[in-house]
Amino acid sequence: MLHLYLMNFAATPTQPRLFIGLMSGTSLDGVDAVVVAQQGEELVQQGQYFLPYPAEIRQVLLDLHTPAVNELHTAAVVSNRLADLYATAVQGLLQTANISAAAVTAIGCHGQTIRHCPDLANGEAYTLQLGNHARLAERTGISVVGDFRSRDMAAGGQGAPLVPAFHQALFAVPDQHRVMINIGGIANLSDLPPNGQVIGFDSGPGNLLMDAWTLQHTGQTYDAGGQWAAGGSVNQALLNAMLADGYFALPAPKSTGRDLFNQAWLDAHSQAHADSPQNVARTLLELTAVSIAQALQQHCRGAQAVYVCGGGAHNLALIDRLQTLCGLPVQRTDALGIGVDWVEAVAFAWLAQRCVDQRPGNLPAVTGAAGPRVLGAIYPR
């Protein structure tokens, strides 16, 4: 069991409460599920479980990122399928952890993002995560908290990133300036100075472009350890063209996703600066590393320690390059008591607890919202 100490929890109940967190991110690899026990300021992770996405579900979700005929029907059907997958993940988690559904207070379910458009003008900004939360509550017999992002957007925020509030509660300390880097499909940073305002934002692509290129040219869903990319050379012209995208120069608050960094974006750049597939793979790795390092240097000055989590933490070539560019040791969050694969799932268990207790879950300085807001909608068991 991992013992994690959080600040600003709700009043201590007489018995620990159990919360489940479910995360299915931009990488579209599957469902991360964790169960945690919360009592006062102590949070104990009691189990974890991973359920891969079937290939056909992953393809449907990828297709839904592009407008198509009858996409409303497709989205509704796959939302039901996702709810069933989430329920299967919950059942596997409960069995692994030897916990009954009746003992769980709530599930925090992020859902699967298929649109994230935070910068549309005239109040038209929106974000959309698929997943039938009512169906999940029915399938599991557990209350579900979902739709975490829309309330922040209703208050003028971007609805993302949400994990910096959790990072602050979990990882901030009074005697060290830490930066947390989550490298999922998209990479995001949380700056945690001992004194001063916490900031966080999406720095740009994490794994999603590297994974797409690897699948296209090797048939593998990801480049294990970054070994394939490591054998190539950086195409500087291609790298410069990609880094010239206006997103990288935007000030925070900012967030992004597949709506910008997608296959069409990748194809346009790779065709304009043709090179061998392996060299392009190496350049995409460099894009992720450089964009993260530049964001850290520009916005996280004075950082003393860098910790990384998410699937990208397993890409040894990426982490080695990131460490060189940052000029600081890059450590895994395992050193802080939670494995790199489970941080975001634990975050949504924490956000579910915040919603149940009617406590804010966002950081306005991070998302741009008008103020702190309780995030999520509750679907009772």
Three-state DSSP class for residue 225: helix
**Are residues 186 and 243 located together in one domain of the fold?**
yes
The Cα 234–Cα 231 span in angstroms is 10
Q: What percent of the chain has pLDDT over 90?
A: 90
Residues in the chain: 381
**Are residues 196 and 323 located together in one domain of the fold?**
yes
**Are residues 22 and 135 located together in one domain of the fold?**
yes
The pLDDT value given to residue 17 = 97
**Are residues 10 and 121 located together in one domain of the fold?**
yes
pLDDT at 345 over 80: yes
Q: Which CATH number does the domain housing residue 234 bear?
A: 3.30.420.40
Tell me what the mean pLDDT of segment 251-256 comes to.
94
Torsion of CA 307, 310, 315, 319, to 10 degrees: -20
Q: Give the residue among 345, 367, 366 at the shortest CA–CA distance from 191.
A: 366
**Are residues 45 and 107 located together in one domain of the fold?**
yes
Kindly state the DSSP code that residue 176 receives in the 8-state scheme.
Answer: B
**Are residues 149 and 16 located together in one domain of the fold?**
yes
Q: In whole angstroms, how far apart are CA 307 and each of 87, 252, 340? A: 31, 21, 9
**Are residues 149 and 178 located together in one domain of the fold?**
no
**Are residues 75 and 114 located together in one domain of the fold?**
yes
**Residue finishing a domain among 321, 336, 351:** 336
| pLDDT tens track for 194-245 | 988 999 999 999 999 999 999 999 999 999 999 999 999 999 999 999 999 9
The pLDDT value given to residue 40 = 78
Three-state DSSP class for residue 30: strand
CB 166 within 8 A of CB 190: no
**Are residues 220 and 195 located together in one domain of the fold?**
yes
**What single-letter amino acid sits at 294?**
Q
Reported in sequence order, the residue ranges of the chain that DSSP labels E, i.e. its strands, are 2-5, 17-23, 30-39, 42-52, 104-109, 112-117, 126-130, 144-146, 178-183, 186-192, 199-205, 305-309, 330-332, 377-379
Non-local (6+) Cβ contacts of 336 within 8 A are 170, 171, 307
CB 228 within 8 A of CB 279: no
**Are residues 352 and 303 located together in one domain of the fold?**
no
Domain count, the chain: 2
pLDDT at 3 over 50: no
Task: Name the residue range of residue 133's domain.
Answer: 2-160+342-379
Q: Phi/psi at 318 (nearest 5 deg)?
A: -65, -45
**Are residues 280 and 167 located together in one domain of the fold?**
yes
**Are residues 75 and 28 located together in one domain of the fold?**
yes
Q: Is the dihedral of CA 95, 101, 107, 109 positive or negative?
A: positive
pTM, full prediction: 0.93
